[in-house]
Structure 1
Amino acid sequence: MSSYSDESKLSRRAFGGAVGAGAAAAAVGLSAAGADAAEPAERRFRAAPRPSGKRPNILFILGDDLGWADLSSYGAPHIKTPHLDRLARQGVRFTDAYSGSPTCSPTRFSLYTGRLPGRTKGGLAEPITDKSVGLEPTHPTLASLLRNAGYATALIGKWHCGHLPDYAPTKSGWDEFFGNFGGGLEYYSKLGLFADYDLFEGDAEYKDLRYYTRILTERAGEYIRRDHGGRPWLLNLNFTTPHSPWIADGDEEEGAEIARKIRAGRKDALLHLDGGSVEKYAEMVEDLDRSVGEVLGALKESGQERDTLVVFASDNGGDRFAYHWPLSGGKGSLQEGGIRVPTIVRWPARLGGGQVSHEPVFTPDWTATLLEIGGARPNPAYELDGTSLAPYLLKGEELAERELFWRVRGERALRCGEWKYYRGKGGKDQLFNLAADQREQADRAAGEPKLLAELKAAWERTNAGLLPYPAA
């Protein structure tokens, strides 16, 4: 699905060789899917820069409800994302990366804790829509563990893991917070689901009625340019773009109408069921791309680009205007379109550019990876569900085949290698070979009963260790 020709389409072993020691890279072969004998070797592989002794800054950028193929580098025919495409050319683009859940707050729980959403009470909400649950401040997080290891920490943008007074980023390891607590808001008025104003600095309201994406972009640039006293930093930059309501910068009148409906008690106003379009959605995604470009520009201007590890991803699959082709399903579903997300990683000091990885990875893996790279020790009382990708990315070690697990009310899924076990709301157990059938249309359950039984049993074993859902 790539829109540029100089990417390496690498197998498990080939990817490691390309980003590890440069001297070994030329000896590693391409996967059959990406082999091209006419392509010069130097375009297939780039030697990794020499290792840096510094722990990196970490910039983790989340889009909100961004579909797997919404970037031009992932195949979108009608959306132009030059800044994110450039980021991919400078680093690693993952084709088989997944979110921890098909909805907002459970994925954020899985990123912040490195654990499956079902490990925590707050993670059972799909997503959080009231103020009674959240991420318990006693639970170790990516931020608290990195802060203990010497990092400055900040979260800018959407939190969606609980509300004041009991839950907040500053109660869970982030030194600073600027953003919104809820799942969505009207981009100008900052009114959220409860008709409350939802833009805060720390635990105090911050008044700014400009378009929200502009505000977050400015704040992120300010944080990056700041003197952090020689400490490395973690910045979680969580945009709400392109989450509904579908209004772009300049659509003040549409925003005012949505705000009026929120004040009138319309609980569905933020869903924007009577608005939006493919064209408006594309405008929002392109605005997100420009905003990411501005933030990356601040990073470069500050002289920190080489020693900053950047991860860009989405919190789940896209909503109704998103482009998922060829995947089925979307936000809220455990079909591929609901959980497979665009994911790009760049670290100039350690990773070669122009790489593509087809390894299945998911949100909790990034928590484990960043903790290892940042020199932070996980709390043994809270075992991580993710696998650190650091040996794979930095040393070329083969990533062992493992099981990626998901569940939501009424659906279940597990991926192991190229196979996916899936049960939808109809209750039928299905089996798909994703290498041959990304669209999940050819059910192989009848022809592979033993494999189906093994994957189903693996799902059941993991599920047995999770909290049960409360009665609906």
Structure 2
Amino acid sequence: MSPRTTGIPTEESTMPNGSTTIRRAFDGLERGRPTTPPNVLFILADDLGWADLGCYGSTTIRTPNLDRLATEGIRFTHGYAGSSWCSPTRISLYTGRFPGRLQAGLEEPLTRRTPENGIPADHPTLPSILAGAGYRTAMFGKWHCGWLPWYSPLRIGFQTFFGNLDGAMDYFEHVDTLGQPDLYEGETPVEQAGYYTDLISDRAAEYIAADQDGPFYVQLNYTAPHWPWEGPRDSAVGREIRSRYEQDWTHSPLLHLDGGSLAKYRELVEAMDAGIGRVLDALAGAGRSDDTIVVFTSDNGGERWSRNWPFVGEKGDLTEGGIRVPLILRWPAVVAAGQVSDRPVITWT
């Protein structure tokens, strides 16, 4: 396939790995530790602050499942997002590229729905390389790396996709920042009732629990705790927002400035934690916990209602508050539990 002139440059590059940890996992095979390739479950929160989890000091938000994950593996105190914005971090994860090498046409926020904004199908990616190595690959949740008809997760190596394409989506009405329906099964629009955090958690759990052979790579991308500020019982808020979209969609990108509270933000994070608990339970029920690398982190620092303390700044800033994020890794077959590391780790390394 000939090189393309859109999206990320396609000149020869090193193998994208998403995480040095994954590369080291395969190095471990040569040392005779695991006898089979490990599964990979990569969980990405959206706009989560550094101190929004109990294991990172929160005294108001209850996150028992992520706290347990931290005690069973390594909690990094110097985890960094690839960017202080969403799309560059995600693209750096999938391609292994430094976000500064993205072409000028690929900008953040990734709002221009054109052929110039996305990951080209012929660019090597983490899912395409793992799929080529025999992995089953699936993404559940937020994509935000380009729009149809030009781009989708299925075109960069994911074999299964259920989720949304835009940078944010109403949790109940499943409409994007332009007020348009944004829930897809593969590349087909679908309608499904339910709170989005629960929908993608349950789909990921079902996928992991299915009786299938071979290693898997599951990318679970929450929109939580990104606006709109809707907890699991706020379906009426979703209907109100959709109504306002329909009246004047040109103001819809500003609707996230309305409402919200510390209490509502807590509901968003706690619902995500509960969903992650169900996914981890499915992993344990399938007998695959020991041989699965689980990574949890955020795409950038928190905004508005999040807690980035003790750091200055928030999402969009290049200060610590905008780029330092929670980062947890668990791999029972290889990594000893109860570790805390101050080694700097960034999304694409």
TM bucket (normalised to shorter chain) is 0.7 to 0.9
Q: CA deviation at 1:267?
A: 3.2
Whether the aligned pair in 2 keeps the contact of 1:117 and 1:124 (CA below 8 Å) is no
1:293 alignment partner in structure 2: 277
Find the partner of 1:234 among 217, 221, 244: 217
Counterparts of 1:139 and 1:285, CA distance in 2: 34
2:54 alignment partner in structure 1: 72
Counterparts of 1:364 and 1:85, CA distance in 2: 24
Whether the aligned pair in 2 keeps the contact of 1:106 and 1:127 (CA below 8 Å) is no
Evaluate the alpha carbon distance shift between residue 91 and residue 271 of structure 1 in structure 2; reply closer, same or farther with a 3 A threshold.
farther
Evaluate the alpha carbon distance shift between residue 347 and residue 281 of structure 1 in structure 2; reply closer, same or farther with a 3 A threshold.
same
1:252 alignment partner in structure 2: 235
Q: CA deviation at 1:193?
A: 1.6
Evaluate the alpha carbon distance shift between residue 55 and residue 271 of structure 1 in structure 2; reply closer, same or farther with a 3 A threshold.
farther
Task: Please list, as runs of the form range in 1=range in 2, the aligned pairs for 1:399-414 lying within 5 A after superposition.
Answer: none
1:167 alignment partner in structure 2: 151
1:309 alignment partner in structure 2: 293
Whether the aligned pair in 2 keeps the contact of 1:193 and 1:267 (CA below 8 Å) is no
Question: TM-score, normalising length from structure 1?
Answer: 0.65
Whether the aligned pair in 2 keeps the contact of 1:245 and 1:270 (CA below 8 Å) is no
Amino acid at match of 1:88: A
Find the partner of 1:105 among 83, 87, 90: 87
Evaluate the alpha carbon distance shift between residue 270 and residue 213 of structure 1 in structure 2; reply closer, same or farther with a 3 A threshold.
farther
Segments of 5+ residues of structure 1 without an aligned counterpart are: 1-19, 21-49, 366-472
TM-superposition CA deviations, 1:411-430 (whole Å, max 9, x none): xxxxxxxxxxxxxxxxxxxx
Whether the aligned pair in 2 keeps the contact of 1:117 and 1:123 (CA below 8 Å) is no
Task: Please list, as runs of the form range in 1=range in 2, the aligned pairs for 1:9-48 lying within 5 A after superposition.
Answer: none
Counterparts of 2:334 and 2:92, CA distance in 1: 26
Q: CA deviation at 1:190?
A: 0.6
- What fraction of aligned residue pairs are identical, expressed as a percent? 51
Aligned residue for 2:270, secondary structure, equals: helix
1:205 corresponds to 2:189: yes
1:351 corresponds to 2:335: yes
Counterparts of 1:96 and 1:266, CA distance in 2: 39
Aligned residue for 2:130, secondary structure, equals: helix
Q: CA deviation at 1:122?
A: 7.6
1:131 corresponds to 2:116: no
Amino acid at match of 1:335: T
Whether the aligned pair in 1 keeps the contact of 2:178 and 2:253 (CA below 8 Å) is no
1:243 alignment partner in structure 2: 226
Counterparts of 1:101 and 1:348, CA distance in 2: 29
Amino acid at match of 1:311: V
Segments of 5+ residues of structure 2 without an aligned counterpart are: 1-24, 26-31
| Bigger RCO (CA 8 Å, 6+ sep) | 2
1:385 alignment partner in structure 2: none
Question: TM-score, normalising length from structure 2?
Answer: 0.88
TM-superposition CA deviations, 1:277-311 (whole Å, max 9, x none): 01100111111111111110010011111111000
Aligned residue for 1:342, secondary structure, equals: strand
Aligned residue for 1:95, secondary structure, equals: strand
1:402 alignment partner in structure 2: none
Q: CA deviation at 1:120?
A: 2.7
1:261 alignment partner in structure 2: 244
Evaluate the alpha carbon distance shift between residue 122 and residue 311 of structure 1 in structure 2; reply closer, same or farther with a 3 A threshold.
farther
- Structure number with larger C-alpha Rg: 1
1:190 corresponds to 2:178: no
Amino acid at match of 1:290: A
